[in-house]
C-alpha cells in the first residue's frame, strides 16, 4: 500500500473504525497497550439498557401470538415480571454478573464525525484513533483455565426500533426452540420435572444481554457506532475505574497474539501493538498537536515511518509500504469548542 492509498483508507468511511477520545486518553491507551471495554450497563447513555429491554419485552409479547412459541413466551414474560422480587440462591448473584455481562468497546465508522467530536472530545484536545477492524483482538485474562474467551468482532449498533426488535427475536426463538424440546421432555417424564423452566432461569438474561450489547436509542444514530463485544471471560480479567455511577467494570482488549478473536494473554505489555492505522486530530486541535502525537507514538514504539517489503522480483527489490504505518490527519469541520 502506497502513501496515497493509506491516506485514502484513513479518509473513507467504513475502511477503519474510529475511537473518539482526547490526546490525554490516547496517551493512556498507548502506555497500557490496551483499550478498556466497559460493561454495557455502565455506558454514558443511561437509557441504553432500557431501550434494549423494552424491545426484548416487545419481542416476547409478539411471540405469544405465534403458536410455536406461545407457551415459552408466556412463561418468560412471567419470569421477567417476577425477576425484581425473586430471591435467588446463594451463588446466583455472581453468576448473573459474570455470565450475563457484556463488555463493549465502541467506535464509529465515520472518520470525521462532528457529533462525535462534540460528544467525546470535550475537556481536552480531541482525536480519533483509526483501527484496522480486520485485526483480531484478545483479552487480558490471567486465569490459567484454557476455556475460550468469546469476543464478537466489530459489528454495527442497531438503532431502528423495528430492527432492534428483530435482533431480540432471533436469540429468543433459539431459546424458545430449546425450551420447547425441554418442555416436551418434562411432559413425558415424571411429575415435577422442570428442565424447561431451568432454561429460562439460566439463559433468558443471557439472551437479553446480547440485545443490550447491540441496541441503542435512535437519538444516537448520528454516531454510526460499531462495537466489539466481550461475552466470555474469567473474573481475573476484570478491573474497575472510578465514575459518577460508582466503580465502573471493564476488561482490557489487546491485539490477539494468535490472530484469533478472543485469545487470552497474561499481560497487555506482552501483546502486539494495537492495530492503529491513523490518528485524526479534532477541529480545534492546536498546530502543535501533530508533532505532539508523533512524539507520543514513537515514545511508545509505534511506527510512523513507512516499512519495506520484498516485492518478489529478482534481483530482490525492497518496496515501500504504508500498510501498517500510522497516518496523521485533521478534521475538516470548522468547529471550535474553546
Query: Which tens digits make up the pLDDT trace of 211-263?
Result: 989 888 888 899 999 999 998 888 899 999 998 888 999 999 999 999 999 99
How many other CB atoms sit within 10 Å of the CB of residue 171? Answer: 19
Query: Which residue is it, cell 509505534?
Result: 302
Rounded Cα distance between 60 and 171, Å, is 11
Query: What does the pLDDT look like over 129-165, one tens digit per residue?
Result: 999 999 999 999 988 776 667 899 999 999 988 888 8
The set of residues, in sequence order, having a beta carbon less than 8 Å from that of 211 and lying 6+ positions away, is 52, 53, 55, 56, 164, 167, 168, 171
* Residue 1 vs residues 4, 162, 163, 325: alpha-carbon distances, Å: 8, 41, 37, 10
| Alpha helices per DSSP H over 189-252 | 195-212
Task: Evaluate if residue 89 carries a pLDDT over 70.
Answer: no
The set of residues, in sequence order, having a beta carbon less than 8 Å from that of 141 and lying 6+ positions away, is 149, 233, 234, 236, 237, 251, 264, 265
Query: What does the pLDDT look like over 55-72, one tens digit per residue?
Result: 999 999 999 999 999 999
On the question of a cis peptide bond just before residue 76, with omega within 30 degrees of 0, the verdict is: no
- Residue 14: CA atoms inside 13 Å, Cβ hemisphere, count? 1
Asked if residues 143 and 237 have their Cβ atoms less than 8 Å apart, the reply is yes
Asked if residues 247 and 240 have their Cβ atoms less than 8 Å apart, the reply is yes
Asked if residues 279 and 126 have their Cβ atoms less than 8 Å apart, the reply is no
pLDDT of residue 90: 41
Rounded Cα distance between 44 and 62, Å, is 30
Q: Which one-letter DSSP state was computed for residue 212?
A: H
3-state SS assignment for residue 230: strand
Closest CA relative to residue 149, chosen from 34, 261, 226, 271:
261
Asked if residues 126 and 285 have their Cβ atoms less than 8 Å apart, the reply is yes
Closest CA relative to residue 171, chosen from 207, 209, 215:
207
pTM (2 decimals)?
A: 0.88
Largest Cα span, the chain: 81
pLDDT of residue 91: 46
Parallel, antiparallel or unpaired: strands 327-330 and 276-281:
parallel
Q: What percent of the chain has pLDDT over 70?
A: 90
Closest CA relative to residue 163, chosen from 51, 250, 82, 251:
51
Least confident of 193-197, 235-239, 291-295: 193-197
Closest CA relative to residue 84, chosen from 245, 205, 217:
205
Asked if residues 55 and 161 have their Cβ atoms less than 8 Å apart, the reply is yes
Query: What does the pLDDT look like over 26-41, one tens digit per residue?
Result: 999 999 999 999 999 8
Amino acid at each position: 500500500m502506497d502513501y496515497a492509498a493509506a491516506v485514502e483508507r484513513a479518509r473513507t468511511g467504513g475502511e477503519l473504525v474510529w475511537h473518539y477520545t482526547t490526546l490525554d486518553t490516547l496517551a493512556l491507551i498507548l502506555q497500557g497497550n490496551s483499550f478498556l471495554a466497559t460493561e454495557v450497563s455502565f455506558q454514558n447513555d443511561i437509557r441504553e439498557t432500557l431501550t434494549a429491554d423494552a424491545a426484548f419485552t416487545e419481542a416476547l409479547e409478539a411471540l405469544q401470538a405465534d403458536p410455536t412459541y406461545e407457551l415459552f413466551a408466556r412463561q418468560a414474560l412471567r419470569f421477567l415480571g417476577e425477576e425484581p422480587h425473586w430471591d435467588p440462591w446463594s451463588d446466583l448473584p455472581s453468576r448473573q454478573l459474570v455470565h450475563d455481562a457484556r463488555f463493549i468497546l465502541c467506535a464509529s465508522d465515520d472518520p470525521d464525525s462532528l457529533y462525535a467530536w462534540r460528544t467525546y472530545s470535550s475537556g481536552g484536545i480531541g482525536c480519533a484513533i483509526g483501527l484496522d477492524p480486520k485485526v483480531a483482538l484478545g483479552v487480558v485474562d490471567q486465569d490459567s483455565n484454557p476455556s475460550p474467551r468469546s469476543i464478537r468482532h466489530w459489528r454495527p449498533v442497531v438503532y431502528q426500533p423495528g430492527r432492534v426488535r428483530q435482533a431480540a427475536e432471533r436469540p429468543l426463538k433459539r431459546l424458545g426452540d430449546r425450551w420447547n424440546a425441554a418442555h416436551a421432555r418434562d411432559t413425558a417424564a415424571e411429575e415435577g420435572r422442570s428442565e424447561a423452566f431451568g432454561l429460562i432461569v439460566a439463559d433468558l438474561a443471557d439472551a437479553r444481554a446480547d440485545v443490550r450489547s447491540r441496541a441503542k436509542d435512535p437519538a444516537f444514530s448520528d454516531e454510526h457506532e460499531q462495537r466489539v463485544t466481550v461475552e466470555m471471560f474469567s473474573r481475573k480479567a476484570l478491573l474497575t475505574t472510578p465514575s459518577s455511577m460508582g466503580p465502573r467494570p471493564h476488561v482490557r482488549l489487546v491485539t490477539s497474539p494468535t490472530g484469533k478473536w478472543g485469545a487470552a494473554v497474561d499481560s497487555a505489555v506482552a501483546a502486539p501493538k494495537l492495530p492503529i492505522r491513523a490518528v485524526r486530530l479534532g477541529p480545534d486541535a492546536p498546530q502543535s498537536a501533530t508533532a505532539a502525537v508523533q512524539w507520543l507514538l514513537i515514545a511508545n514504539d509505534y511506527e510512523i515511518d513507512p516499512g519495506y517489503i520484498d516485492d518478489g522480483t529478482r534481483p530482490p527489490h525492497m518496496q515501500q509500504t504504508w500498510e501498517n504505518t500510522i497516518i496523521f490527519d485533521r478534521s475538516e469541520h470548522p468547529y471550535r469548542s474553546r
